[in-house]
């Protein structure tokens, strides 16, 4: 029986990061994957979706090309776009596997399941013994009972990227969360005629501010993407050449195919958790404490299988926390609020920390520093001046409580804030940084200086 300091079950962003980081810290590591190396993020989530989003962004931006002296209409071919993301995924996967091999991480293909709290069986043929075990098995698409999964007619994001998308142009996107909001835009820009069906307003359950959601709504409307809100699919008719959706308001929608963006559920099937003494909550998430330990202290769970935020960003952060705790028990707590959250749609939306309302709930008095991209030279030069930077600070201590970046390149800019998040002198660091000009990042400085000018935080921003 092979023995390891750490066995990781699942090779998505969390599992991969935990394996690599543990190996770099001197532990012997094995990683087990039953399906595609890289998990959902690499093969069916973050990576191919970002590839498609860039294509969608180029098509959307082309509407302003004429005033720059660039003439002609850009259209997208979704079949070629599908091939492009496949090529991207393959390059990343090859690099991923090569790096694990060079590090000396033992990789095993098959379904891992617990024999007991230290032993993992792979397809009932190979047994590994681990001093520590990390469950990183991710999640799978939630499929409402009314929807049967039918090839080329009703798809989830778990199978959208497996083969060339269906040929039909009329597409219904179901869901008001991040997945639905992103794919309604992406597929529209890739040439599909979108009917977007949502029970609630898009992203209404998120922490994004009302101004942010209003800007996103306006941007979607300019591309003629308007949600059919307050609607639930009552039944589905597949007898014709396409799909007929019968809604609970009595209306009927006819499309060629449907994409479900109805959320995700943690994936624990086949793990045989009971044999290890590991339990799940009522929603199926592995129960963990603030150090990401399960009921059994040497068994940890990270990412979608345990973290209700269910994002690759949180899985990566969880991995770092777990490896720290394996090396030095209970030395590092999970910090979900310190992890950036992003949406890639008609606008990019980034957020970190807490909102003003959440600050008030915690008994804090919050000040807001605001800076718009409307007058930013770089944004104007790109014809992408929609959006802003908002910094939320504690009026008493000057501590940075949260931030929001809306607009082009928000997914990159949020990292400049994330690097300082949690530092007592974060505002002073923003104010003391030297910036490139012209740059979108300068609005972080402007938002910081607004806190000094408007809220009397000059000492916290500029120092004594």
176 is in an annotated binding site: yes
All residues at 6 or more sequence positions from 442 whose CB lies less than 8 Å from its CB, including other chains = 376, 378, 435
88 is in an annotated binding site: no
SS (H, E, C) 216-250: HHHHHHHCCCCEECCCCEEEEECCCCCEEEEECCC
177 is in an annotated binding site: yes
50 is in an annotated binding site: yes
Helix (H) or strand (E) holding 335: none
181 is in an annotated binding site: yes
How many angstroms separate the CA atoms of 74 and 93, rounded?
A: 30
SS (H, E, C) 37-91: CCHHHHHHCHHHHHHHHHHHHHHHHHHHCHHHCCCCCCCCCHHHHHHHHHHHHHH
How many angstroms separate the CA atoms of 167 and 38, rounded?
A: 28
Instruction: Report how far apart the first and last C-alpha atoms of the chain are (Å, whole number).
Output: 63
Q: How far is CA 264 from CA 43, 57, 63, 235, 267, in A?
A: 16, 26, 34, 21, 9
The residue from 57, 84, 228, 437 that is catalytic is 437
59 is in an annotated binding site: no
Instruction: Count Cβ atoms below 10 Å from residue 116 Cβ, excluding itself.
Output: 13
Q: Is 87 exposed, middle or buried (0-12, 13-18, 19+ CB in 10 A)?
A: exposed
175 is in an annotated binding site: yes
Q: Give me the residues paired with residue 245 across strands.
A: 236, 253
137 is in an annotated binding site: yes
Tell me whether residue 437 is one of the annotated catalytic residues.
yes
163 is in an annotated binding site: no
All residues at 6 or more sequence positions from 456 whose CB lies less than 8 Å from its CB, including other chains = none
182 is in an annotated binding site: yes
All residues at 6 or more sequence positions from 303 whose CB lies less than 8 Å from its CB, including other chains = 10, 12, 13, 14, 15, 136, 138, 310, 312, 314, 315, 318, 319
Helix (H) or strand (E) holding 266: strand 264-266
Annotated binding site for FAD: 50, 112, 137-139, 304
Catalytic residues: 437
Annotated binding site for NAD(+): 175-182, 263
Annotated binding site: 50, 112, 137-139, 175-182, 263, 304
């Amino acid at each position: 029986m092979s023995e390891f300091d750490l066995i990781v079950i699942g090779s998505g962003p969390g599992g991969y990061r935990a394996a690599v980081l543990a190996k770099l810290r001197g532990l012997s590591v094995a990683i087990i994957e039953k399906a595609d190396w890289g998990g959902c993020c690499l093969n069916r989530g973050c990576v191919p979706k970002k590839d498609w989003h860039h294509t969608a962004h180029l098509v959307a931006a082309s509407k302003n090309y004429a005033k720059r002296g660039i003439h002609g209409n850009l259209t997208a071919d979704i079949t070629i776009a599908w091939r492009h993301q496949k090529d991207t995924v393959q390059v990343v996967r090859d690099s991923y596997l090569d790096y694990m091999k060079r590090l000396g991480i033992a990789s095993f293909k098959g379904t891992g399941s617990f024999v007991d709290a230290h032993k993992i069986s792979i397809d009932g043929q190979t047994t590994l013994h681990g001093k520590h075990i990390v469950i990183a098995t991710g999640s799978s698409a939630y499929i409402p009972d009314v929807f049967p999964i039918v090839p080329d007619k009703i798809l989830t994001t778990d199978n959208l990227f497996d083969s060339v998308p269906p040929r039909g142009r009329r597409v219904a996107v179901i869901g008001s969360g991040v997945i639905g909001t992103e794919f309604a835009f992406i597929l529209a820009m890739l040439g599909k005629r979108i009917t977007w069906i949502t029970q609630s307003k898009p992203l209404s359950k998120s922490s994004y501010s009302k101004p942010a959601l209003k800007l996103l709504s306006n941007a979607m409307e300019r591309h003629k993407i308007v949600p059919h809100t307050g609607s639930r699919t009552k039944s589905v008719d597949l007898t014709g050449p396409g799909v007929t959706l019968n809604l609970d308001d009595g209306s009927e929608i006819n499309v060629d195919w449907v994409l479900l963006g109805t959320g995700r559920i943690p994936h624990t099937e086949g793990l045989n958790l009971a044999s290890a003494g590991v339990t799940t909550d009522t929603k199926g998430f592995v129960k963990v404490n603030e150090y990401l330990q399960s009921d059994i202290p040497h068994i940890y769970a990270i990412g979608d299988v345990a973290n209700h935020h269910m994002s690759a960003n949180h899985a990566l952060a969880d991995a770092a926390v777990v490896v720290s705790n394996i090396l030095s028990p209970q030395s590092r707590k999970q910090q979900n609020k310190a992890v950036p959250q992003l949406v890639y749609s008609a606008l990019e939306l980034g957020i970190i920390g807490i909102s003003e309302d959440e600050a008030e709930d915690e008994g804090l008095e919050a000040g807001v520093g605001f800076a718009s991209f409307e007058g930013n030279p770089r944004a104007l030069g790109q014809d992408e001046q929609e959006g802003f930077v908002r910094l939320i600070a504690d009026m008493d201590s000057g501590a940075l409580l949260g931030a929001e970046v809306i607009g082009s390149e928000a997914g990159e800019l949020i990292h400049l804030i994330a690097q300082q998040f949690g530092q007592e002198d974060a505002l002073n660091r923003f104010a003391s940084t030297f910036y490139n000009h012209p740059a979108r990042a300068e609005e972080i400085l402007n938002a910081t200086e607004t806190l000094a000018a408007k809220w009397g935080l000059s000492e916290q921003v500029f120092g004594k």
